[in-house]
């Protein structure tokens, strides 16, 4: 049986941890510009189709996903609505999706919708180690056929440090299937030089390096990029040093 002192200590600890939790929640709210009130939020898949059109050639996202027998799709920095809009267009019984947003703001109806469609909504900071652990655990050994990240606004609120964005891009790359998994991403650019560590290099040098390493790459003037992971692609993305 716990002594009086132990009981008191446990009460103090519980109240402290709930205060800390409360403070963390408050900080999260403060970090979110206007209460997570983004100009683009929960966009339909058609908005992504438009955005990534310049790198998709004549293909579209829905058809790319339909080609897979049990598609696995991740939408980073987004609530689950876009995945729901995509999965409603995919007849496959077996499909699996993960959406990562900073906060889970779903209603009960949206929660039920996601359950039916095979979508998990995670809430966490993309910079947090535990968030990546949670993504890995949710994937449970699966690799993604398609990863989308249409969140340039959100990304720029995190940091303008290109090295951090390079590290994040590499983390995303590791989640991708090497059976021609596709990554559609909006990249923060600094003119012609981005993601190239702290040395000013030419974007075209980096693109050539990716192609040399058997990574499919299409880059468009609107800052969108499509990377394709092939069986011969490296596990880590090469960056110019």
Ligand X SMILES: C[S@@+](CC[C@H](N)C(=O)[O-])C[C@H]1O[C@@H](n2cnc3c(N)ncnc32)[C@H](O)[C@@H]1O
Q: Least distance (Å) from ligand X to the CB of residue 52?
A: 11
- Asked if 224 touches ligand X (CB under 6 A), the answer is no
Q: Least distance (Å) from ligand X to the CB of residue 92?
A: 23
- Asked if 185 touches ligand X (CB under 6 A), the answer is no
The binder of ligand X chosen from 147, 151, 183, 195 (CB under 6 A): 151
Q: In terms of CB distance, is 48 or 206 closer to ligand X?
A: 48
- Asked if 150 touches ligand X (CB under 6 A), the answer is yes
The binder of ligand X chosen from 42, 97, 118, 181 (CB under 6 A): 42
- Asked if 158 touches ligand X (CB under 6 A), the answer is yes
* 176/226 Cα distance (integer angstroms): 12
Cβ–Cβ < 8 Å for 146, 74: yes
Q: Least distance (Å) from ligand X to the CB of residue 212?
A: 31
**DSSP-assigned letter for residue 201:** -
Burial of 39 (0-12, 13-18, 19+ CB in 10 A): exposed
Looking at the chain, the number of H-run helices and the number of E-run strands are 9, 7
Please give the C-alpha separations between residue 83 and each of 10, 75, 76, 152, 199, in angstroms, as whole numbers: 43, 7, 10, 18, 37
**What are 99's strand-pairing partners?**
75, 121
Burial of 210 (0-12, 13-18, 19+ CB in 10 A): buried
The binder of ligand X chosen from 153, 188, 216, 223 (CB under 6 A): 153
Neighbours of 126 (CB within 10 A): 20
Q: Least distance (Å) from ligand X to the CB of residue 47?
A: 6
Strand arrangement of the beta sheet that strand 146-149 belongs to: 119-123, 96-101, 72-76, 146-149, 181-186, 224-229, 215-219
Q: In terms of CB distance, is 54 or 238 closer to ligand X?
A: 54
**DSSP-assigned letter for residue 4:** H
The binder of ligand X chosen from 154, 185, 206, 224 (CB under 6 A): 154
Residues 66-125 contacting ligand X, CB under 6 A: 77-79, 82, 100-103, 125
Q: Least distance (Å) from ligand X to the CB of residue 105?
A: 8
Size of the site for ligand X (CB under 6 A): 22
> Binding string to ligand X for residues 12 to 41, with x set by CB under 6 A, is what?
------------------------x-x-xx
Q: In terms of CB distance, is 100 or 225 closer to ligand X?
A: 100
Which chain residues interact with ligand X by CB under 6 A? 36, 38, 40-43, 77-79, 82, 100-103, 125-127, 150-151, 153-154, 158
């Amino acid at each position: 049986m716990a002594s009086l002192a132990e009981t008191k200590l446990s009460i103090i600890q519980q109240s402290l941890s709930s205060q800390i939790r409360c403070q963390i929640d408050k900080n999260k709210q403060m970090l979110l510009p206007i209460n997570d009130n983004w100009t683009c939020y929960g966009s339909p898949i058609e908005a992504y189709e438009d955005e990534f059109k310049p790198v998709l050639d004549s293909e579209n996202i829905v058809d790319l996903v339909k080609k897979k027998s049990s598609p696995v799709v991740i939408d980073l920095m987004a609530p689950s609505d876009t995945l729901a809009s995509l999965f409603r267009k995919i007849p496959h019984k077996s499909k699996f999706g993960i959406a990562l947003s900073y906060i889970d703001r779903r209603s009960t109806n949206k929660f039920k919708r996601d359950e039916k469609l095979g979508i998990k909504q995670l809430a966490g900071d993309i910079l947090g180690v535990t968030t990546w652990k949670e993504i890995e655990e949710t994937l449970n050994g699966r690799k993604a056929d398609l990863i989308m990240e249409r969140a340039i606004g959100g990304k720029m609120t995190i940091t303008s440090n290109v090295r951090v964005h390079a590290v994040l891009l590499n983390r995303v790359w590791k989640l991708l299937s090497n059976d021609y998994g596709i990554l559609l991403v909006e990249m923060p650019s600094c003119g012609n030089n981005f993601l190239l560590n702290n040395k000013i290099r030419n974007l075209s040098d980096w693109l050539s390096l990716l192609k040399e390493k058997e990574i499919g790459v299409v880059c468009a003037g609107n800052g969108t990029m499509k990377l394709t992971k092939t069986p011969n692609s490296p596990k880590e993305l090469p960056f110019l040093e």
